[in-house]
C-alpha cells in the first residue's frame, strides 16, 4: 500500500492532490444538498428536477471543455486554476438563497462552466508533474480515490451536519473547499506549455481527432456510456428511492450515496496492482460487463420488493464496477498523445464522457418519473449493454500491445524532444 502512495512524495503533486480532495469533498456536499433542495422544491418529482440540473451540468461540460482547453495554453496554468476555483466559490455561496427551480438550473450552469474549464486543465498537468508511468498510474488511482471521497466522506459529513443545521449550510462547506483548493494551487509552481499557434477551432478539434484515430479511445465512448448509465441511476434516483420509496429521511440519502462511493473507493485502492498485471482492456471490459449484470439483477430485486439493505449492497457493487471502468482511462489518454496535446485530449475525454452522462441523466430522470426506479434501472442496464458491445467490438484484443515499460520509454522520449 505504501508503494501505491509513492506519487505523493512529489511536493507539487501532493499539494495538487490535497487541493483536489478538498474541492471534491466540498462538491460532494453540494451533490447531497442539491438532491434535498430538489425534493424541497418538487417533492416526488425531485428525480425529474435533478435530471434537468445534471443535464445542464453535462451540457456545459460537453460544450465548454474542448474550447477551454484550446485557449488554456494562453493563460498560466496556476492563474487559471485559482481563478476558476474563485468563480466556483462565489456561485455556491449564492445557492442557499434560491427559491425556484430555474434559479438552481442557472446557477448550476455557471458553476459547471467553471468546472468544465478547470478539470481538464488540472488533469493535463498531472502527467507533466509525474513523468514516470508507474507513478502516474498510482496518481490516477489516487485521483479516482479523491473522486470517491466525494462519494464517501461528503455524504458522511453531510449526514453529521444535517443533524444540527439545515441543508443550505452544505453549500457553505463547498465554498470553503474551493477556497482551500485555490490556496493550495497558488502555493505551487506548475509547468506551462508554449501557446499553440494554430487557430482556436483547430486546437479544439485536436483531441476529437485523437479519438477518431485510436480504436482504444473510440472504445471509451461505449465503456463510458456503461459507467454513466449506472452512475446516473444512483445520482438521480437515490433520493426518490430512499425518501418516497422506503420512507426514510435525509440522513439515509447521504448513507446510500456514501455506500456507492465506498464501493468506488475500494476499487480505486486495488486497481494499481491489478493494472500492473492485467491490460487495461481486460479490467475495463470485465468491469463494464459486471455493471450490466448488477443492474439487471438490481432491477429484478427492486421490482420484487427488495428493501434498504438490498439497495446498499447493490450500490456498493455498482460503485466498485464503475470505478474499475473509469480509473484506467488516463493511462490510455497519456499513451495516445504527445505532451503538448494532453490538454486537448483530456478535454475531449471530459467532453465526450460527459455527453454520455448527459444522455443517461435525462434517461434516468424521465424513466424514473414515468415508470418506476426498478424499471428505470432495467432500461439503463440495456443502455450499458449497448455501450459494452461497442467497447468490445471497437477495441479488439491486443496480445502484442506494448508493455508499461515500453510506454514509459516512449513518454520519456516525447518529453525529451519538447
CB-based contacts of 240, cutoff 8 Å, min separation 6: 44, 46, 47, 368, 373
How would DSSP label each residue in 86-150? HHHHHHHHHGGG--SHHHHHHHHHHHHHHHHHHHHHHHHHHHHH--SHHHHHHHHHHHHHHHHHH
Q: What pLDDT sits at residue 315?
A: 93
Q: Which burial class, exposed, middle or buried, applies to 416 when counting CB atoms under 10 A from its CB (0-12, 13-18, 19+)? A: exposed
CB-based contacts of 225, cutoff 8 Å, min separation 6: 356, 359, 360, 383, 384, 386, 387, 390
Cβ neighbour number for residue 134 with a 10 Å cutoff: 18
Domain ranges (residues) in the chain: 3-190+200-417
57-98 confidence digits (pLDDT tens):
777 777 776 676 666 666 777 888 888 889 888 888 887 787
19-61 confidence digits (pLDDT tens):
888 877 777 677 677 766 666 666 666 666 666 777 777 777 7
Q: How many residues does the chain have?
A: 418
User: Model pTM greater than 0.85?
Assistant: no
Q: Which residue has the cell 481538464?
A: 120
Dist. CA 38–CA 33, nearest whole Å: 8
* Residue ranges of the chain whose pLDDT lies below 70: 1-7, 28, 31, 35-51, 65-66, 68-74, 133, 137, 141, 144-145, 147-167, 191-207, 337-344, 397-418
Proportion of the chain in helix, strand, coil states, percent, rounded to 5? 85, 0, 15
CB-facing half-sphere around the CA of 66: CA atoms within 13 A:
23
**Topology adopted by domain 3-190+200-417:** Growth Hormone; Chain: A; (1.20.1250)
* Direct distance between the N- and C-terminal alpha carbons of the chain, in angstroms, rounded to an integer: 34
CB-facing half-sphere around the CA of 415: CA atoms within 13 A:
16
Question: Is the Cα torsion angle 411, 81, 218, 293 positive or negative in sign?
Answer: positive
Q: What's the whole-number average pLDDT of the chain?
A: 76
Instruction: Say if CB 97 and CB 169 are below 8 A apart.
Output: no
Q: What pLDDT sits at residue 44?
A: 60
Amino acid at each position: 500500500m505504501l508503494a501505491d502512495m509513492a506519487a505523493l512524495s512529489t511536493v507539487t503533486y501532493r499539494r495538487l492532490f490535497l487541493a483536489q480532495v478538498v474541492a471534491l469533498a466540498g462538491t460532494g456536499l453540494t451533490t447531497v444538498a442539491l438532491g434535498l433542495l430538489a425534493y424541497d422544491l418538487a417533492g416526488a418529482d425531485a428525480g425529474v428536477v435533478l435530471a434537468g440540473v445534471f443535464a445542464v451540468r453535462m451540457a456545459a461540460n460537453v460544450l465548454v471543455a474542448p474550447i477551454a482547453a484550446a485557449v488554456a495554453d494562453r493563460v498560466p496554468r496556476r492563474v487559471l486554476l485559482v481563478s476558476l476555483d474563485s468563480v466556483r466559490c462565489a456561485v455556491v455561496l449564492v445557492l442557499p438563497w434560491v427559491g425556484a427551480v430555474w434559479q438552481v438550473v442557472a446557477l448550476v450552469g455557471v458553476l459547471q462552466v467553471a468546472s468544465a474549464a478547470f478539470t481538464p486543465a488540472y488533469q493535463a498537468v498531472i502527467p507533466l508533474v509525474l513523468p514516470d508511468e508507474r507513478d502516474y498510474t498510482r496518481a490516477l488511482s489516487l485521483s479516482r480515490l479523491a473522486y470517491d471521497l466525494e462519494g464517501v466522506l461528503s455524504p458522511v459529513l453531510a449526514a453529521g451536519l444535517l443533524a444540527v443545521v439545515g441543508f443550505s449550510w452544505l453549500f457553505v462547506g463547498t465554498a470553503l473547499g474551493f477556497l482551500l483548493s485555490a490556496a493550495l494551487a497558488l502555493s505551487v509552481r506548475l509547468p506551462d506549455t508554449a501557446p499553440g499557434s494554430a487557430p482556436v477551432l483547430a486546437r479544439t478539434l485536436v483531441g476529437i481527432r485523437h479519438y477518431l484515430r485510436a480504436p482504444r479511445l473510440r472504445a471509451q465512448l461505449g465503456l463510458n456510456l456503461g459507467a454513466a448509465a449506472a452512475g446516473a441511476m444512483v445520482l438521480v434516483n437515490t433520493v426518490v428511492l430512499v425518501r418516497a420509496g422506503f420512507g426514510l429521511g435525509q440522513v439515509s440519502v447521504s448513507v446510500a450515496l456514501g455506500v456507492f462511493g465506498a464501493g468506488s473507493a475500494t476499487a480505486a485502492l486495488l486497481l494499481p496492482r491489478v493494472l500492473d498485471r492485467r491490460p487495461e482492456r481486460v479490467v475495463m471490459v470485465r468491469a463494464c460487463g459486471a455493471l450490466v449484470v448488477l443492474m439487471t439483477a438490481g432491477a429484478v430485486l427492486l421490482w420484487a420488493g427488495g428493501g434498504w439493505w438490498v439497495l446498499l449492497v447493490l450500490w456498493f457493487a455498482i460503485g466498485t464496477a464503475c470505478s474499475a471502468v473509469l480509473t484506467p482511462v488516463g493511462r490510455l489518454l497519456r499513451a495516445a498523445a504527445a505532451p503538448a496535446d494532453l490538454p486537448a485530449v483530456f478535454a475531449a475525454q471530459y467532453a465526450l464522457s460527459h455527453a454520455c452522462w448527459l444522455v443517461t441523466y435525462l434517461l434516468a430522470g424521465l424513466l424514473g418519473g414515468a415508470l418506476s426506479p426498478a424499471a428505470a434501472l432495467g432500461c439503463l442496464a440495456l443502455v450499458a449493454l449497448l455501450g459494452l458491445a461497442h467497447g468490445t467490438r471497437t477495441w479488439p484484443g491486443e496480445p502484442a500491445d506494448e508493455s508499461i515499460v515500453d510506454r514509459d520509454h516512449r513518454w520519456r522520449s516525447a518529453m525529451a524532444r519538447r
